[in-house]
Amino acid sequence: WSMITMTTVGYGDLVHDSDVEKLFAIIFMPLAASSLGATINRFEKITASAALHDTNFRLKLEDMMRDQTKATLTANPTLTKEQFVLKTLIDFEMVEEAAVEELFQRFEGLVEVGEGEGVDRSVLTMHSLFAQLKQQRRIVDTNDLYAPPESPSPLIDGKSPIPMLKSLRRKPFQRTSGGKFHVTHPSLQFRPQFRQLPKGAVAVNMATHDHGFEEWYEEVWLPSLDPWLRPATMAAASQMRNRLGSLRDEVESYREEMGQEYEVSYGSEVSKREEMDNREACDSQSSHSHSPRVELTDEMELRTPQRPQPHAELAETQRHLNQSINQRINQRSTVQRAAARAAVAHRDHRPPSPMLSPELSDSDSDKLPAASPLPPPHRYLRLADTDDLLTV
């Protein structure tokens, strides 16, 4: 009954007699039919996605390049990422080729209208947008707003000239050689005209060399963008990214340097321990081979030198590493504070004192205030030119 009803074939073996059953069928039929259609569409998309996922495009690359050769009429074609995606969608019938061709034609109509044949019609630029906005009268010329009308309505002494033209003994207009009229009556004036700016339009001076593009770009387009998309913000963000990248490289190099020192020190300790183990093993073998067997009793103990455990060795090495990092950080902080104070003194035109010189001796460095306490150096690292702490 559900399949027959949702496919709108009929009611099947069950006939609706009561009003409640008929109301239920009225509500059930459109909902079930739409659900069935959505399910079929979903299965088609799943099938296409599975075929797209299972396709080995490395095997189809030769055929795609041959098709691109025919399309571009060249023996050395190139296939961009956008062309690859579009061709794949067309081949798998996810989009219709006719729709793509129409969109291509529509796109070419958007690029640089009236700018000549040498314009690249495959890229939309801000000049294309400016030309389209001028065509739509959303950008107008400020000179047109205050220009005199093409067919001005004349006034004679502030009144309409029609009843007064008959009283004039001579014609107020004379025809010129170009077929136009010019005013000859001294009291004939023109009504000044102010063209109203269309709603939602902006006015720029198009009498410049770029036809007002720079004025529109700087005064209209840039202020309309989000603050983080403006050129100044983007430049600052780019500088910040470059600075962070350099700081990250410095931290990584510092970590690699300290890691190499740690590996060298740890390797030397391990080699010493191995040498001691081998020597003790040789001594024990020689003693067992040349001495009689001794049975241990309760009163006897076999005393061997105690060796530190591996985790104790690691802790000791880590402690030395932390001390070296602390020492380097404190030295760098002391020099930075001295340089900063010297810069402030130079800015205030005050000679810096000897104890504030960037090049400090051991005796002078003791006179400076102690560096602020730092967290464990294996977790944090002070940057070279800031007071921030980075986790390393």
Question: Distance between CA atoms of 30 and 226, rounded to whole angstroms?
Answer: 45
pLDDT digits (tens, 9 = 90+) for 178-221: 444 444 444 444 444 456 777 888 888 888 888 889 999 888 88
Centroid of chain to Cα 254 = 29
Closest alpha carbon to 389 in 317, 306, 333, 324: 333
Residue 148 pLDDT grade (very low, low, confident, very high; cuts 50, 70, 90): low
**Structural domain boundaries of the chain?**
2-108, 133-217, 250-278+311-391
Q: Is the pLDDT assigned to residue 5 strictly greater than 60?
A: yes
Question: Distance between CA atoms of 220 and 9, rounded to whole angstroms?
Answer: 60
Residue 135 pLDDT grade (very low, low, confident, very high; cuts 50, 70, 90): confident
Enter the tokens of residue 121: 């019609």
DSSP 158-213: TB-SHHHHTT-SS-SEEE-TTS-EEE--TTEEE----PPPPTT-EEE-TTSTTTTH
pLDDT digits (tens, 9 = 90+) for 63-75: 888 888 888 888 8
Q: Mean pLDDT over residues 310-321, rounded?
A: 68
More confident residue, 215 or 241: 215
Question: Distance between CA atoms of 206 and 141, rounded to whole angstroms?
Answer: 6
Q: Which residues contact 120 (CB under 8 A, 6 or more apart)?
A: 111
What is the pLDDT at residue 199?
A: 80
DSSP run (H or E) holding 37: helix 19-54
What is the pLDDT at residue 47?
A: 87
Closest alpha carbon to 323 in 250, 262, 384, 390: 262
pLDDT digits (tens, 9 = 90+) for 334-391: 766 776 666 656 555 545 444 444 444 445 445 445 544 544 444 444 544 445 544 4
Contact present, 251 and 390 (Cβ < 8 Å): yes
Name the average pLDDT for the chain: 69
DSSP run (H or E) holding 257: helix 231-290
Contact present, 352 and 346 (Cβ < 8 Å): yes
Residue 20 pLDDT grade (very low, low, confident, very high; cuts 50, 70, 90): very high
Residue 76 pLDDT grade (very low, low, confident, very high; cuts 50, 70, 90): confident
Contact present, 212 and 141 (Cβ < 8 Å): yes
> Hey, is 139 helix, strand or coil?
strand
Q: Mean pLDDT over residues 252-271, rounded?
A: 66
Contact present, 175 and 240 (Cβ < 8 Å): no
Question: Distance between CA atoms of 90 and 101, rounded to whole angstroms?
Answer: 11
Structure pTM?
0.40
Residue 298 pLDDT grade (very low, low, confident, very high; cuts 50, 70, 90): very low
Q: Is 89 exposed, middle or buried (0-12, 13-18, 19+ CB in 10 A)?
A: middle
